[in-house]
Structure 1
Amino acid sequence: MQAIVIGAGIIGLSSALYLKQSGWEVTVIEKEDQLNNCSYGNAGYICPSHFIPLATPGIIRQGMKWMTNPHSPFYVQPRLSWSLVDWGIKFIRSATAEKVEAAAIPLRDIALLSQRSYESWKAIPELEMAYEKKGILEYFKTPEKEQHAIHTCEEAVKLGIDAVMLSAVEVKAMEPQTRLEINGALYFRTDAHVYPNRVMQSLQKYLGDIGVVFKTGEKVKSFEKTKGRIQKVLTDKGVYSADTVVLSTGSWSRELASKLSLKLPLVGGRGYSVTLEDSPYKLNHPAILMEGRVAITPMDGNKIRFGGTMEITGLDEPPRMKRVAGILDAVKAYLPEFQIPFPAENDIWYGYRPCSADGLPYIGRSTEFNNLIIATGHAMVGMSLGAGTGKLVSEIANEEQLSVDITAFDPQRFN
């Protein structure tokens, strides 16, 4: 049985791993060189704490305030695009308290599944992850964000997630080598983190070693279809027969789905990161700056990565370096000793997170093509949900009992 996985980000590679382990012959098709997709430069969080989807009532209101600020962490580029308008309408309709509440358990369950899956990978010596389970601290400076943190903490505890509020004194005791300008933090003790670059590189190599075939630099042009099944995947360089096809092309998924006449409301949300490869500064725990919307991760020894922004823009638009300045300015407001010079453009990473119209991923079998599995739209938690999504893709392909309920992630839910 031949599985064709389209896309070599963490979702595609995780799917390839579990499919191969369950007996499939697997070919991964990737339009780029695999070396710098969205799965590489992220913060590396494995975070059951992220049970609140992107589409929330507050993000609409706050986003309008940020639109005119070039340094802000959120921006939507105005442009004539029906797909963007359609996505925006659906996003606004999804940003309700009721839908946010309904998303919490599905997001928690897939995140915990994914965390267990990553931890199981530690039994494979070839898979190097720099996995550390130290939790994540969410720093706040203002009374408004403190109240938000308290509410989130209460909701997390109801969901069985290990979370606790900490005073500034308690946080500083956890970070004795760093001066912090904060009023306190929400501490998610359940969370972990990895070094994404190492995960991706070792996973790709291991997959090649166990017989997964990679076709890089090939762009899917069309599909050969018969009676509700995809028979062949046609690229600009070859033709591949398929018993199962996995669509896991991240921010390019809407475009690819349209080649099958499928509607997948999705846009690319660009994020940026800067990594100090040999940091002179010390931080013991990953942290999120609540007001600044910035993630900070100490990883793989002496490295520290700073990442953030959600920039809804065209996939070919040049980077906006003022967004990077906004990230570094936010860092200094919380960690005044972190004087980070603005990096050279080549040292700034940016990638596109695939954002669905409600902030939940699309995971499931297509109703139009019974051998097509869709796995995309994970927004800012692609790395976190990657291993779990791959496991679910394999279970779907093998028609097995699913590890978690994926009803909320139905790819057809907006049709």
Structure 2
Amino acid sequence: MPSATGSSRATGSSRATGPSRPPRSAIVIGAGMVGLATAWSLRNHGVEVTVVERRHPAAGASWGNAGWLSPALTLPLPEPAALRYGLRSLVSPESPVYVPPRPDPRLARFLLSFTRNCTPRRWRVLAATFATLNRHALEAYDALAADGVAEPTRPAEPCLLAFRTAAERAAMAEELEQARAAGFSIAYEPIDGDRARELEPTLGDGIGAALELHGQRYLNPGNFVRALADAVRERGGEILERTEVSGIRDLGQGVAVTTSRGQLRADVAVVATGAWLDGLVRPFGVRVPVQAGRGYSFSVPAEGAPTRPTYLAAQKVVCTPLGEGRVRVAGMMELAPVERPVDPRRIQAIIAAARPLLRGIDWEARKDTWVGARPCTPDGLPLVGATASPRVYVNGGHGMWGVALGPLSGRLLADAIATGTSPAELAPLHPLR
């Protein structure tokens, strides 16, 4: 395998972890944004990498993501406002957050733990962790671009956060101020509905207030993840597509990964399978549950749709220009099994929420209807680091933020694996917490 070039750096103080010698080979399970970013960074350290993917790169939650790289909005999912929604809203298919009624003790335990993290005090602690990560999130994308990932990120200047009323805007501004107090760097300014329509003429008359949010970016997530897969291959990494993984064994001097193609061996393994994490990592002491938080999206023709990243914040609906004549419309959170099919009511709920506030969209010309399982943890923090085995690692549980934070968490974990020291940013994300 040709040697890799480039470097990867840690961004904080560190502590010892991992095998006694630097690993020479790694198996990364999962070819979404998180897994491929980890593989790319491991190749930066000269580690031989094989990525194993049950479908193909960008087949999971990375593909249908809204595509926002928005450090200002990458916030903890458990928030005090979640408690105000109440149980009645959670069982309504029209609600932004929906729990299909069913007997599920595991989900009940997840929701109980999630609720405990929705206090203001706990939110501040979690937000401080996100603030630390967000400071480096865009830098990680710049490193990918500088080292050969061809698909660009684009400046969103400004992002528009649109509201029906000034009162709705004030609630969002309060949340941004709380994030600032937790250490976020956020630049924004309030504008009225007329100014918002000057910036984005597709906004309807129902929009009475908005925020201009500066310093954010966006991308076409499917194209970017495929470009990242190409970059991994160009660096000498191997990607095995349509290969199922059924188990991992710690051999003491390495790992054996059982796949549908037979057994693979390497010095270390990284599990980056998103909402499918639990089954592979539970034998290695990871007890933090990962719940599928399913998000919905589809695309509409660009003509008549927003030309810039636009967020209908109260309705939890995001519009992102993808290029190629399409705009992605995404939203909703559904706590349901990963294998559950698309619920057409959720698509209709997105349209019903957005239609009165956007004009000109041809909703009947939508295509690429998608539902994806975003891997959520009860405290909203990813699981990044070593398990009870110093040869088995986890990189997952990013919730809605796998695209926003995947390149950074991949770099930080690769640093920990290759150097034997763990960057300080990973301490609150420890999989055994």
Deviation at 1:178, TM superposition (A): 4.7
Distance 2:422 2:209 in 1: 40
- 1:273 maps to 297
- 1:355 maps to 376
Deviation at 1:120, TM superposition (A): 2.6
Distance 1:386 1:247 in 2: 13
- 1:386 maps to 406
Distance 2:412 2:402 in 1: 14
- 1:73 maps to 96
Question: For 1:15-414, what aligned pairs fall within 5 Å after superposition?
Answer: 15-158=38-181, 159-176=184-201, 178-226=203-251, 231-260=255-284, 262-276=286-300, 278-300=301-323, 302-341=325-364, 343=366, 347-366=368-387, 368-399=388-419, 405-413=425-433
Is the CA contact (8 Å cut-off) linking 2:72 and 2:185 kept in structure 1?
A: no
- C-alpha change, 1:303 and 1:125, in structure 2 (3 Å) is farther
Deviates more, 1:286-295 or 1:328-337: 328-337
- C-alpha change, 1:202 and 1:51, in structure 2 (3 Å) is closer
Is the CA contact (8 Å cut-off) linking 2:41 and 2:410 kept in structure 1?
A: yes
> What residue ranges of structure 2 are gaps of 5+ in the alignment?
1-23
Letter in structure 2 aligned against 1:138: L
- Write the deviation string for residues 6-52 of structure 1: whole angstroms up to 9, x where unpaired: 11110000000000011100011111233521101111011111243
Distance 1:223 1:402 in 2: 23
Deviation at 1:288, TM superposition (A): 1.4
Distance 2:208 2:421 in 1: 46
Deviates more, 1:328-337 or 1:287-296: 328-337
Is the CA contact (8 Å cut-off) linking 1:271 and 1:351 kept in structure 2?
A: yes
Distance 1:257 1:307 in 2: 30
Distance 1:404 1:298 in 2: 36
Deviation at 1:259, TM superposition (A): 4.2
- C-alpha change, 1:358 and 1:20, in structure 2 (3 Å) is same
> What residue ranges of structure 1 are gaps of 5+ in the alignment?
none
Letter in structure 1 aligned against 2:233: G
Is the CA contact (8 Å cut-off) linking 1:3 and 1:25 kept in structure 2?
A: yes
SS in 1 for 2:315: coil
Is the CA contact (8 Å cut-off) linking 1:331 and 1:338 kept in structure 2?
A: no
Deviation at 1:156, TM superposition (A): 4.2
Distance 1:281 1:63 in 2: 36
Deviates more, 1:98-107 or 1:160-169: 160-169
SS in 2 for 1:315: coil
Is the CA contact (8 Å cut-off) linking 2:290 and 2:375 kept in structure 1?
A: yes
Distance 2:225 2:74 in 1: 24
- C-alpha change, 1:90 and 1:177, in structure 2 (3 Å) is closer
Note if 1:3 corresponds to 2:48: no
Letter in structure 2 aligned against 1:7: G
Is the CA contact (8 Å cut-off) linking 1:299 and 1:305 kept in structure 2?
A: yes
SS in 1 for 2:150: coil
- 2:18 maps to none
SS in 1 for 2:146: coil
Distance 1:100 1:371 in 2: 32
Letter in structure 1 aligned against 2:414: S
- 2:37 maps to 14
Aligned residues: 408
Deviation at 1:157, TM superposition (A): 4.2
Deviation at 1:326, TM superposition (A): 0.9
Deviation at 1:143, TM superposition (A): 4.8
- Write the deviation string for residues 37-86 of structure 1: whole angstroms up to 9, x where unpaired: 11011110111112431111221331523234322221112333332222
Distance 2:204 2:405 in 1: 33
Is the CA contact (8 Å cut-off) linking 2:286 and 2:432 kept in structure 1?
A: no
Distance 2:349 2:225 in 1: 28
- Write the deviation string for residues 95-132 of structure 1: whole angstroms up to 9, x where unpaired: 11111111222212212312111123222455213433
Is the CA contact (8 Å cut-off) linking 2:76 and 2:381 kept in structure 1?
A: yes
RMSD: 2.1
- Write the deviation string for residues 240-285 of structure 1: whole angstroms up to 9, x where unpaired: 2121211111000012223445323111011111112x42125232
Distance 2:116 2:204 in 1: 42
- C-alpha change, 1:326 and 1:342, in structure 2 (3 Å) is farther
SS in 2 for 1:405: helix
Is the CA contact (8 Å cut-off) linking 1:251 and 1:355 kept in structure 2?
A: yes
SS in 1 for 2:185: coil
Q: TM-score scaled to structure 2, two decimals?
A: 0.88
SS in 1 for 2:364: coil
